Amino acid sequence: DSSNCEGQTMAPLSRDQEVLVVTVSIMASLMAICGDVILIYAIRKRWAKGDKTYYRILLFLSAIDMLNAFWYASSTVLMPVEYTSRHLAVGNVASCAASGFFISFGTAIYSYNAMLSLFFFLKIRYGMKKRPMARLEIYLHAAALMAALAPAMLGLVLETYNEMDVGLGCWNAGLPNSPEGCGDTCIRGSQARLVGYVTAV
């Protein structure tokens, strides 16, 4: 049945609607970046007197959030013009893949939020001192970064970063109008569901 190969994508936006969505996205990203810069400046001012483990977690969290905000804001224009109907797209397959990779890597934010919660739990509930906390911190950083980097790299290797079915930008998806299961016509992105599951886990 040929209907199984019909793409299920978001209804097309007009140029004005797309500009509005992108403008709001850029404004939100700029506010996030400004907040992160203020936080990093505050940490720098208090570094000598504060808990270094706490400050390092906040620094990593802020840096990844800034990176994520930038790629979200620019994701629409980085979509490949050969595959998309988006009015503002000026990118290619490589720029779309780069955008998808960094957005996927940005899921490290969730791990760092969990790390921050664990820091306060161990500090308040068990009164863990600075030295053992610092030793544990190394493994927590490694786990948080690898948990985001591994699926992000997997998406690059399996070529799953394409225009999203819903939303503006590139992430794990089949090519527009060529969903998974259509044979050789949609090899790129055919493993998108698998990479999506790995990212979610």
Q: Which residue has the higher pLDDT, 192 or 139?
A: 139
SS3 of residue 162 by DSSP:
strand
How far is 163 from 21, CA to CA, in rounded Å? 16
Phi-psi sector, 33: left (phi>0), alpha (psi -120 to 50), beta:
alpha
Cα(120)–Cα(21) distance, integer angstroms: 37
Nearest to 166 by CA among 148, 154, 179, 156: 179
pLDDT at 85 over 90: no
C-alpha neighbours within 13 Å on the C-beta side of residue 103: 26
Average pLDDT over all residues of the chain: 83
Whether pTM exceeds 0.85: no
Summarize pLDDT for 92-133 with one digit per residue, the tens.
989 999 999 999 999 999 999 999 999 999 999 988 888 899
Res. 181: pLDDT tops 70:
no
> Buried b vs exposed e over 118-152: b needs ≥16 C-beta within 10 Å?
ebeeebeeeeeeeeebeebbeebbeebbebbeebb
pLDDT at 16 over 80: yes
Task: Give the pair of three-digit tokens for residue 113.
Answer: 């939020």
**Averaged pLDDT, 186-198:** 72
